[in-house]
Structure 1
Amino acid sequence: MSAESSTPTFGDELVDSFADAGVGAVFFTSGSDIMFYQEGVARRQAQGQPDPQLVTVPHELVNLAAAMGYSAVSGRPSVTAVHVDVGTLNYGAGIHSVSRSGLPVILTAGMPATADPGSMTGARDGGHFCTQQVPDQNGILRQYMKWDHQLQYRDNPWNVAGRAVQVASAYPPGPVYLSIPREVSMLASRESSATRVPFAARGPVTIGVPPARLVNELVQSLVNAKNPMVVVGNGGRDPRSVPILAAFVEQFGLGVIDGCVPAANYQCLPMNHPLYWKRGSVKDADLVIVLECDVPWLAGRDDPLVDARVFLVSPRPVADYLALLDIRATESVISDTATFCSAVLDELQKNASVDRAKLLQRSDRVRQNVAAARESDRQRVLARRSDDYIDPEWAAMAVADAMPANALVLDDTVYSAPVRQYLTLEGPAQYFRNTSSAGGWGPGAAFGAALAQHERPVALVIGDGFYMYGVPTCALWAARAHKAPFLSVVFQNNSYNTGTEETARFYPGGFSQRGGFVGGYFPQPVDFALEAQSVGAYGENVHKSSELALAIQRAFASVAEGRSAVVAVQLPRLLELPQPDAKA
């Protein structure tokens, strides 16, 4: 509504309904069709209503990544707002990331006005409205969304917004898309409050308890199994599941590994838990419980024993949104980690005949094996340290060791810098990983995570390729503007894994390799420290192993003072890393 008028508009109702549904932030990239967000949020603030916050982000990819980071950390739904089809297209690879995130993100975009000039408020008043029309704007990303809708003149905007948040939040959460024509957003509201459905009246979605038959059978199977394993993925999206899963694996003495995809994108256990292998294999397992993991292993290569019993537990256990997936399973269970593990634990406590000494003995064996593997791995990596260059795996461990115990860590790395393997964060909800293969999530997500809370320092670990994909200057600018600083540790090897190591693997000795991998190396690398300084952040390049720990300390000190920081760790190019036995 305008300052002169008390008549609310469709846009006002959208903003008010989003607030009623618990939306804490609208990530906003300006456009001539979404000005109602600015007016609606400013009106609410003038009336003493702080939510939602309007968060200015000068690039749509960063906008969407920030919404993902915000929702992951806060647990609240978030809204993005961009300009017509072009803004929607500029969400870019973030569309794929949000589709795999399991987060309640409501993507919105304006649509060009089509009403004749002068016929109504918001009608066409420039030629660009004609060129912005496309046959099916929603079709740009429909295949990635749980739900989509174009706001119509006949709609109740309050209820449309509520429905969008309801679908996005219903377990398993996921993104939805709402397009809003400019002149429709400016229509005078015509609905009475009696036709509005308050969000609380929509009711929560309850996850089902597994059947008693299965629970009883599983307790006995877990007791009798020789080498049972648990594979985790997205269960830690619900922080309540972390202590429940810890109790579950401790009571039954179960080793835990990360799935293939997702590779535990959310923190499913304390990262130093004594039964948590992180990296591992189920090839020798005779019973496997897969908890909220779409692709627990690569079928046909990494399968468990042929006669192994496999239980897939997830709200969508057969991952019906993936066209091809060939995971052999004894039973698929529609549930979530917390509900499933609680039911099995309850049955264990009631069953007096269980041989608990046997379970304790197995637990001790797994704990000893995990501890020995961790120590062996650590000693192997320590031996890789060099004063002549920075070894990437050693750097990953050093960065993990430098993380404060209370840090929130966002991980957008690939396998050459496995920071995750060495982190010891207790959690829950201290670790978040890019949920897809789309690079560029990290800078925006780290900003969103810092915006969602101010108690813990936020650190992003990322490779230089994905860092450049993420438009970091826009993320750093937004962090400065909204007082949400974060640290970025960039592993800078000036190389693409796909354009060097993978190319050499598939075309050994080929023309590309003989020609120096054109397209795989960055011959004139970006100075990320200088780039950071250009937008008011602290920046430092690290060239020696002895400099790394102190550089990260300085960077965290900068974040504590309210200034984002970037530490670029200079690594050898891929395929040019000296081998340990070749050192002088």
Structure 2
Amino acid sequence: MYTTGTAFLEALQEAGVSYIFANLGSDHPSIIESLAIAKQENRELPTVITCPHEFVALSAAHGYAQATGKPQAVIVHVECGTQNMGGAIHNAFKSRVPVLVFAGSSPYTQEGELTGSRNEFIHWIQDVFDQRGIMRGYSKYDNEIRTGANVKQLVHRALQVAKSDPPGPVYLMGAREAMEQETTPVTIQKELWEPIAPAAVPPNLIEELVKDLLAAKKPLIVTSYLGRKKEAVKELVRLSDNLAIPVIESVPHHMNFPADHPMHCGSYWNDAKQNELLAEADLVLVLDSDVPWIPTKNKPSENATVYYIDIDPLKEEMPLWYIPSKRFFKADAHTALQQINVLLEEKKEIDQKAVAVRRAEYTALHGHLKEERRQAEQAGEDVITPEYLTGCVRELMDENTIILNEGITNYGVISNHIEASVPGSYYGSGAGSLGWNGGAAIGMKLSQPDKTIISLTGDGSYLFSVPSTVHWMTKRYNTPFLTVIYNNRGWRAPKHSTLGVHPDGVANAHQDFYVHFDPPADLAGVAAAAGDAHAITVKDRSKLKEALVEGLKQVKEGRSAVIDVYIPHVYTDEAVTTEPVKETVR
């Protein structure tokens, strides 16, 4: 039999999907049977990765797409599995990551009228009026497969939408009867379903931008995710070199500009202070950034000229968003930077004396900022500070290392102190639902098995990642990675938020924020139990480097490792707790 399910899987294969991250249910008999037949007949289809939790499935597809730009498929069970993806679909949508999600739906016949008709009580319970509506606020496209006659067209159309700027998740669903339907094979010319070409800045307006750049005395570039296209990093370096323009990263979730470049002037997160470079700038060029600054804390001068280049400059999915700018360009940053650089070099009107002065000034600032980071890493005496921990991790890195940052209240510390300088070597989730780190590490390791993946996460983010599922999958599918937990025994972010609004409130007076995890759990032990991970809990600063080196050694030998590191407590800011867990090494 050649069914809609068979054609669906073939379409994924034709479109270049390598993996299906699957959490299968009673709605997927056609998928399961088609996979079994293909295996028996030695026909190639995407590899199925069994995922005991849907959040991890989508996070893995997210990580794979971040590292490669290639969307993978996720298969989940009806509306329950769709909802169980929860925050992961928020992450994929907000961080503009392409992925195709397919869910079955309850059968629409109940008396055996068609193959696949209802035969389990759950088929009534899981029948809802608008299953696609669950995803509509978090996907670029949704549709229902009703017949095998055009299922391939729907798959290719969905992936074309997913990959086109701004990229994002797409959602298809299909009932058992439709997926079990016998159909006729269809041949698709996949080259006719390519994503839209990158957009450029209109020629007359690029002239205006270049003119303003040349006239600026204190130009500044701010970016967050320009590095989603590795080739764009080279063009940004070219522009910065040409005009000696400093670069600041705002909540970076890609490696956008080399940290070892003399024009790199750090990054900021929720810093409650004004960045001096931003305040002094007379021209700010924003490239691929959703939140280049937080106006209540940090913003450019009212006299500064702002240009905004982004794949989504209006932030159409953000109800409240505005940054008044001279020009907004809906353009691919790599393409726009090429335009700027070519025009700059053709004009030959660069004030080399002014450039030399800026270069000397910002090179000195770059060196000063680096020295400040080194001093911060050595502070704390016997306490393991986040700065010291990140510096120790940095010492382990080489050109084949990929860092994942889900440190949340330590996000800024990690992004500054890790000092990533190789395109594609650093990622954050790019969104706001915690737990991305575990599944993302699996996806990235699958996409680049020769790379060493190091996931830096808070204890809250680690728990949100469903570590039991993550580490079971890691062992089964041979995707070892190193996890380092910045364990402050609680959620520090809600405490910070409360103090930001009520600095002199009762919660602060009583130091009661309802966010601590005391007595702490054996977090590393979860990974050991679920996936035989090498598990270490570290509280002593003198033992940290040894533990990290051993953990990395285990990873390179094929076994995941989790290093649970006690940093200052969420409440007391001391690296102790009233009820410590026993130090364990497995």
Normalised to the residue count of structure 2, the TM-score between the two structures is 0.92
1:426 to 421, 424, 430: 421
Match of 1:570 in 2: 566
1:295 offset after TM fit, Å?
Answer: 1.9
1:397 to 391, 396, 402: 391
1:385 offset after TM fit, Å?
Answer: 3.3
1:430 offset after TM fit, Å?
Answer: 1.1
The answer as to whether partners of 2:454 and 2:482 remain within 8 angstroms in 1 is yes
SS in structure 2 of the partner of residue 419 of structure 1:
helix
SS in structure 2 of the partner of residue 427 of structure 1:
coil
Give a deviation string over 1:536-580, Cα, whole Å, max 9, x none.
11100111111111111111111111111100001231241259x
AA aligned opposite 2:57: N
1:266 offset after TM fit, Å?
Answer: 1.5
Q: How does 1:448-463 map to 2 (within 5 A)?
A: 448-463=443-458
Cα RMSD after superposing both structures: 2.0
Match of 1:63 in 2: 57
1:79 offset after TM fit, Å?
Answer: 0.7
Q: Separation in 1 of the partners of 2:11 and 2:543?
A: 51
1:401 offset after TM fit, Å?
Answer: 2.9
AA aligned opposite 1:355: D
Match of 1:332 in 2: 328
Q: Separation in 2 of the partners of 1:379 and 1:392?
A: 13
Contiguous gaps of at least 5 residues in structure 2: 269-274, 576-586
Match of 1:226 in 2: 217
In the alignment, is residue 180 of structure 1 matched against residue 177 of structure 2?
A: no
Q: Separation in 2 of the partners of 1:227 and 1:213?
A: 24
1:283 to 269, 279, 285: 279
Match of 2:582 in 1: none
In the alignment, is residue 274 of structure 1 matched against residue 269 of structure 2?
A: no
Match of 1:19 in 2: 13
Match of 1:380 in 2: 376
The answer as to whether partners of 1:390 and 1:544 remain within 8 angstroms in 2 is yes
Q: Cα distance 1:256–1:292, how it changes in 2: closer, same or farther (>3 A)?
A: same
AA aligned opposite 1:294: D
Q: Separation in 2 of the partners of 1:559 and 1:264?
A: 26
The answer as to whether partners of 2:377 and 2:388 remain within 8 angstroms in 1 is yes
Q: Cα distance 1:511–1:354, how it changes in 2: closer, same or farther (>3 A)?
A: closer
Contiguous gaps of at least 5 residues in structure 1: 1-6, 580-584
1:97 offset after TM fit, Å?
Answer: 0.7
AA aligned opposite 2:338: S
Q: How does 1:431-470 map to 2 (within 5 A)?
A: 431-470=426-465
The answer as to whether partners of 1:463 and 1:492 remain within 8 angstroms in 2 is yes
AA aligned opposite 2:181: L
1:213 to 204, 208, 214: 204
The answer as to whether partners of 1:114 and 1:129 remain within 8 angstroms in 2 is no
Q: Separation in 1 of the partners of 2:296 and 2:306?
A: 15
Q: How does 1:39-118 map to 2 (within 5 A)?
A: 39-118=33-112
Q: Cα distance 1:514–1:311, how it changes in 2: closer, same or farther (>3 A)?
A: closer
AA aligned opposite 1:577: D
1:186 offset after TM fit, Å?
Answer: 0.8
AA aligned opposite 2:540: K
Q: How does 1:340-359 map to 2 (within 5 A)?
A: 340-359=336-355
The answer as to whether partners of 1:543 and 1:570 remain within 8 angstroms in 2 is yes
In the alignment, is residue 558 of structure 1 matched against residue 545 of structure 2?
A: no
The answer as to whether partners of 1:21 and 1:200 remain within 8 angstroms in 2 is no
1:402 offset after TM fit, Å?
Answer: 2.8
SS in structure 2 of the partner of residue 226 of structure 1:
coil
SS in structure 2 of the partner of residue 567 of structure 1:
strand
Segment of structure 1 superposing worse, 298-307 or 88-97: 298-307
Match of 1:312 in 2: 308
AA aligned opposite 1:462: T
The answer as to whether partners of 2:387 and 2:417 remain within 8 angstroms in 1 is no
1:503 to 498, 501, 505: 498
Normalised to the residue count of structure 1, the TM-score between the two structures is 0.92
Match of 2:292 in 1: 296
The answer as to whether partners of 1:38 and 1:54 remain within 8 angstroms in 2 is no
Q: Separation in 2 of the partners of 1:375 and 1:428?
A: 24
Q: Cα distance 1:407–1:43, how it changes in 2: closer, same or farther (>3 A)?
A: farther
1:253 offset after TM fit, Å?
Answer: 0.8
AA aligned opposite 2:431: S
Give a deviation string over 1:51-98, Cα, whole Å, max 9, x none.
411111100111110110111113211110111111111101112111
Q: Separation in 1 of the partners of 2:566 and 2:574?
A: 14
Give a deviation string over 1:452-475, Cα, whole Å, max 9, x none.
121111110000011101101101
Q: Separation in 1 of the partners of 2:519 and 2:291?
A: 38
SS in structure 2 of the partner of residue 144 of structure 1:
coil
The answer as to whether partners of 2:222 and 2:289 remain within 8 angstroms in 1 is yes
The answer as to whether partners of 1:228 and 1:285 remain within 8 angstroms in 2 is yes
The answer as to whether partners of 1:112 and 1:130 remain within 8 angstroms in 2 is yes
Q: Aligned pair count?
A: 565
Q: Separation in 1 of the partners of 2:118 and 2:35?
A: 24
1:320 offset after TM fit, Å?
Answer: 1.7
1:511 offset after TM fit, Å?
Answer: 4.4
Q: Between the two proteins, what is the percent identity of the paired residues?
A: 29
Q: Separation in 1 of the partners of 2:32 and 2:444?
A: 23
Match of 1:471 in 2: 466
1:363 to 334, 359, 363: 359
Q: Separation in 1 of the partners of 2:510 and 2:349?
A: 68
1:238 to 226, 229, 240: 229
Give a deviation string over 1:401-421, Cα, whole Å, max 9, x none.
333332111111113362121
Give a deviation string over 1:207-228, Cα, whole Å, max 9, x none.
2322222222322322221111
Q: Separation in 1 of the partners of 2:299 and 2:505?
A: 33
In the alignment, is residue 37 of structure 1 matched against residue 31 of structure 2?
A: yes
Give a deviation string over 1:340-398, Cα, whole Å, max 9, x none.
1111110111113332343233223212211112212321331x2322x3223322332
Q: Separation in 1 of the partners of 2:352 and 2:441?
A: 44
In the alignment, is residue 252 of structure 1 matched against residue 243 of structure 2?
A: yes
The answer as to whether partners of 1:402 and 1:549 remain within 8 angstroms in 2 is no
1:145 offset after TM fit, Å?
Answer: 0.7
Match of 1:163 in 2: 157
Give a deviation string over 1:467-494, Cα, whole Å, max 9, x none.
1011011011111111111111011111
